[in-house]
């Protein structure tokens, strides 16, 4: 574990916010932090102290954020919409990723809580991400938002991150509203998609998991994988180390009429073929 992470954990004295690091006692810096500059790390550490002082605990952890990083930095995605940002941890981290890609007007993030929007906006400005991130206070299922987001981003969203109300009915409305606005081939990434996370639905109607089960049933054209675990008491026994789960869905890509049906593989010499098999 890096000395910076160790110092931050010690200074906050809030182990519940760093359960991932405590669980592993890992002597390495996860990739979601390793790309950050000194200034970005100082900003994140200051954000942790400010959010802790305000008792703004919550938000995603290293496993889910690693999905975001893989998509954004692995594929050069520069048009992102975020539904639900709470106090802004994932907003700052995604904003840092996008800035490293040289992107502008790249993250349109929405939350219905004005207090959280004001807090997040303050830290977006503190991090000098004002030309990368736009914070919007609204219902993330509002029908006008996809058009407004596209206008800000300059193109259709390539990545949609859903981590908002966790309510079944609201999640269905979010999916119905944003799916048609997505770029073909784009990704929709939902947090809290597990059986364990059903409890986060304040209405008791089944949460994100029920919404996804029903919505995906109506949209068989959307490829998806719901990454969950058994919600064991000790996460060390699980393969995926986040009981809340993550569902990754991809918007279908229409096949171009002139697309080759088969990939042409250059012929190999007998010796080369033998080496390949070995």
Looking at residue 263, what is its pLDDT?
59
The answer to whether residue 79 sits within a structural domain is: yes
pLDDT at 111: 98
Q: Which residue bears the tokens 């993330």?
A: 140
Sequence-ordered list of residues with C-beta below 8 angstroms from that of 202, at least 6 positions apart, any chain: 165, 166, 167
pLDDT of residue 269: 64
**pLDDT average, residue stretch 86-109:** 98
Give CA–CA dist 82/100, Å, rounded: 18
Structural domain range at position 77: 57-250
Closest CA relative to residue 11, chosen from 35, 38, 42, 45: 45
Residues paired with residue 230 on neighbouring β-strands, in sequence order: none
Mean pLDDT to the nearest integer, 98-108? 99
86 contacts 54 by C-beta, under 8 angstroms: no
Judge whether residue 248 has pLDDT over 80: yes
Model pTM greater than 0.85? yes
Looking up residue 164, the CATH number of its domain turns out to be: 3.40.50.150
- What proportion of the chain, given as a percentage, has pLDDT over 90? 73
Q: What is the pLDDT of residues 150-204, one digit of tens each?
A: 999 999 999 999 999 999 999 999 999 999 999 999 999 999 999 999 999 999 9
**Token pair listed for 150:** 């596209």
| pLDDT (0 to 100) of residue 230 | 74
Residue 19, in any domain of the structure? no
- CA separation for the pair 157, 38 (Å, rounded): 30
79 close to 106: Cβ distance less than 8 angstroms: yes
- Residue 6 domain-assigned? no
Query: Which region among 35-44, 212-221, 251-260 has the lowest average model confidence (pLDDT)?
Result: 251-260
Q: Which residues contact 275 (CB under 8 A, 6 or more apart)?
A: none
* Res 1: pLDDT: 46
Q: Which of 54, 116, 55, 53 is nearest to 90 (CA)?
A: 116
In a domain, 123, yes or no: yes
**What's the pLDDT band for 17 if we cut at 50, 70, 90?**
confident
Note whether 52 and 44 are within 8 A (CB): no
Q: Could you tell me if residue 15 is inside a domain?
A: no
Query: For the chain, how many structural domains are there in total?
Result: 1
Residue 219 CB contacts under 8 Å (≥ 6 apart), including other chains: 179
What is the C-alpha to C-alpha distance for residues 129 and 106, in angstroms, rounded to an integer? 10
Average pLDDT, the chain: 91
Q: For residue 191, give the 3-state DSSP assignment.
A: strand
In a domain, 98, yes or no: yes
Give the strand pairing for 223-227 and 187-191. Answer: unpaired
> Taking residues 77-101, what's their average pLDDT?
98
23 CB-side CA count, 13 A:
17
Q: Is residue 111 part of a domain?
A: yes
- Residue 194: inside a domain: yes
Query: Region 233-241: what's the mean pLDDT?
Result: 80
């Amino acid at each position: 574990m890096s000395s910076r992470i160790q110092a931050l954990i010690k200074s906050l004295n809030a182990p519940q916010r760093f359960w991932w690091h405590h669980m592993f006692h890992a002597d390495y810096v996860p990739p979601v932090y390793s790309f950050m500059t000194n200034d970005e790390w100082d900003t994140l550490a200051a954000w942790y102290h400010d959010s802790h002082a305000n008792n703004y605990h919550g938000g995603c952890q290293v496993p889910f954020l690693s999905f975001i990083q893989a998509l954004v930095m692995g594929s050069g995605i520069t048009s992102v919409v975020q539904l639900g940002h709470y106090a802004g941890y994932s907003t700052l981290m995604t904003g840092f990723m996008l800035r490293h890609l040289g992107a502008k007007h790249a993250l349109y993030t929405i939350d219905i809580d004005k207090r959280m929007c004001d807090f997040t906006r303050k830290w977006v400005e503190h991090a000098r991400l004002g030309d990368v991130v736009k914070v919007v206070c609204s219902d993330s299922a509002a029908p006008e938002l996809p058009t407004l987001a596209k206008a800000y981003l300059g193109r259709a969203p390539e990545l949609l991150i859903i981590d908002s109300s966790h309510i079944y009915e609201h999640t269905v409305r979010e999916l119905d509203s944003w799916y048609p606005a997505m770029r073909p081939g784009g990704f929709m990434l939902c947090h809290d998609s597990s059986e364990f996370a059903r409890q986060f639905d304040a209405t008791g109607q089944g949460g994100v998991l029920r919404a996804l089960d029903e919505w995906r049933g109506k949209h068989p054209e959307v490829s998806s994988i719901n990454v969950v675990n058994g919600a064991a008491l000790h996460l060390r026994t699980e393969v995926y180390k986040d009981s809340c789960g993550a569902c990754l869905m991809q918007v279908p890509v229409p096949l171009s009429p002139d697309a080759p049906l088969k990939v042409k593989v250059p012929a190999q010499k007998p010796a080369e073929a033998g080496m390949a098999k070995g």
